[in-house]
């Protein structure tokens, strides 16, 4: 039985989140404040990213709600 390699978790920055969701940065941060968007992961004092898997799940949830 062949094993399928798993894709390691990936973190993506704001520019890629914007591209994937078609939302502006200000709208992403508004939804974060309202707890209607996946949380950021702090990478450093002035650096954050998001889980790519969580962003894709959020997109799927938006499609299913519509």
Span 14-59, pLDDT tens digits? 999 999 999 999 999 999 999 999 999 999 999 999 999 999 999 9
Predicted TM-score of the model (pTM): 0.86
| Distance (Å, whole) CA 18 – CA 21 | 5
Select the more confidently predicted residue: 6 or 17: 17
Q: Give the span between the Cα atoms of 48 and 38, in whole angstroms.
A: 12
pLDDT bucket at 5, cuts 50 / 70 / 90: low
Q: Are 52 and 11 in contact (CB under 8 A)?
A: yes
């Amino acid at each position: 039985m062949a094993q399928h390699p798993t894709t390691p978790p990936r973190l993506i920055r704001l520019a890629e989140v914007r591209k994937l969701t078609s939302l502006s940065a200000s709208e992403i941060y508004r939804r974060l404040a309202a707890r209607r968007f996946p949380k950021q992961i702090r990478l450093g004092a002035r650096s954050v990213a998001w889980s790519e898997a969580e962003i894709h799940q959020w997109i799927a949830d938006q499609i299913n709600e519509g």
